[in-house]
Chain A
Amino acid sequence: MKPLKDFVRQFDANISLDESLIVRKENRYFLLNEKLEKLVTKDFFYAGTYLGKIKHGKFFPSFSLLRMIAEKKANKIIVDKKTEWLFICGRDIFKQGIIKVMGSKRKGDYVLILNQHGECLGFGKILRSLDEEKEGVAVKNISDIGDFLRREA
């Protein structure tokens, strides 16, 4: 659970998950509901809500976990429609595409990327202070929902 909690803290966020309902399958973490918790056996492949996985000692979040963080107070930016699509295609975010910033604007901090409907598209890392007037790349794409398409390829 520590890697997961540490990951969430990077967004200046805090989510409370019932640890008794979290199960680990090899390197992957899942959150169950109470009914699933009663039924699940240890040889499952996937269960409940996928939270993320540990690889080479690093935590990789699922998009479900990012959505859960986005529901809380956290570092977030809202981007315009064009930037939304470019981000999903794996591109970094230009300052001009950012409509609103909530939480940290500091260089090096992690931010969730939301569209204008408030839906979480992924997350990135602030490359330079979002207070700066300068145009150009402001947030580096780390993970985006276009990954669902790339996984199929």
Chain B
Amino acid sequence: MSGKEFFVSRYEKLGWKYENVKPRQAIRINVMNTKKADAIERLETLGIEFEKIPFLENGYWICRSKFSVGATSEYLLGLYSIQEAAAQIPATLFTELKDKIVLDACAAPGGKTVQLANLMQNTDAIIALEVRRQRLTALSNQLERCHVKNVIAYHLDARQVSRLNMKFDRILLDVPCSGNFVTDTQWFSRRTIKDVERNAKLQREILTEAAKVLKDDGEIAYSTCSLEPEENELNIDWAIKSLSLQVEKINCYGEKALTNIFGKQLDSSIESCRRIWPEKTQGFFVCKLKRRVDTL
């Protein structure tokens, strides 16, 4: 079961009519390294045309640039990062980050890790994990370029985080996923439902381990750039039932997530998750989880 027709018909059953959406390049100002107004002025001087992303504090869409925005002095000096708009949402969901120990469980290439460092004003501690060695090097380069000082990175599978013998106040689970057709033009010919199921299983294993190392009053932000419900609503429904987690209300861009998937009724709280169908951004899913109060 694969191919464009197969997946598009699934999206229609979920209530969304397929449309080809072109990805828009976006940046995020690293406000720990520069004043936002200064960065904007410098980008304007370079002739880069951009537009504020209305649902993000420090995000801008690139409208026009004569050169790559990844090859300017300002980029190399860490004044901004290139980060897709929807991907800028998960790190902003945590309520309070001061004096917290944060886990970024699937960190490379590090866009969200740098964003967390910004939100934490480069203080306290982020533990960043990455299972693939080569991607860990990319993460390190990103941390150095963006002047990040509060991260310890480990070459470790997120499913083994309890080996660190630590408990975390905040856990970012931007889990490996099947991706979506907006950012991968070959997506429909590359992906099968088996891939989706395999990723969903891996995501459940990561969620299980994260629940073990979450402090009682801790928060998990879970996200994927997949449109497939197995990796999103169905996994969260499973986490509610199997891991004693509950969904928290969030206030961010996106639609209420689905509570009925192909006829299967899910926990009603799942509508507090956000499903982002491709339009202004790539496809995305995000939610916030906490321990269920009755289990504390």
Contacts and interface: CB of A to CB of B under 8 A. Distances in A.
Contacts, number: 78
B125 A35 contact: yes
Interface residues of B, number: 29
Contacts of A31: 149
Per DSSP, are chain A's interface residues mostly helix, strand or loop, or mixed?
mixed
B76 A148 contact: yes
Given A146-B76, A148-B76, A45 B154 contact: yes
Given A35-B124, A35-B125, A39-B166, A44 B140 contact: no
Interface in A53-85: 62-64, 67, 84-85
B101 interface: yes
A85 B127 CA distance: 35
A44 B73 contact: no
A105 to B, nearest CB: 25
B155 interface: yes
B43 to A, nearest CB: 13
Contacts of A41: 164
A47 interface: yes
Interface of B: 70-71, 73, 76-77, 101, 123-125, 127, 136-141, 143-145, 147, 149-155, 164, 166
13 contacts: A33-B149, A33-B150, A39-B125, A40-B152, A44-B153, A45-B136, A48-B149, A50-B144, A88-B73, A115-B73, A121-B77, A145-B76, A151-B141
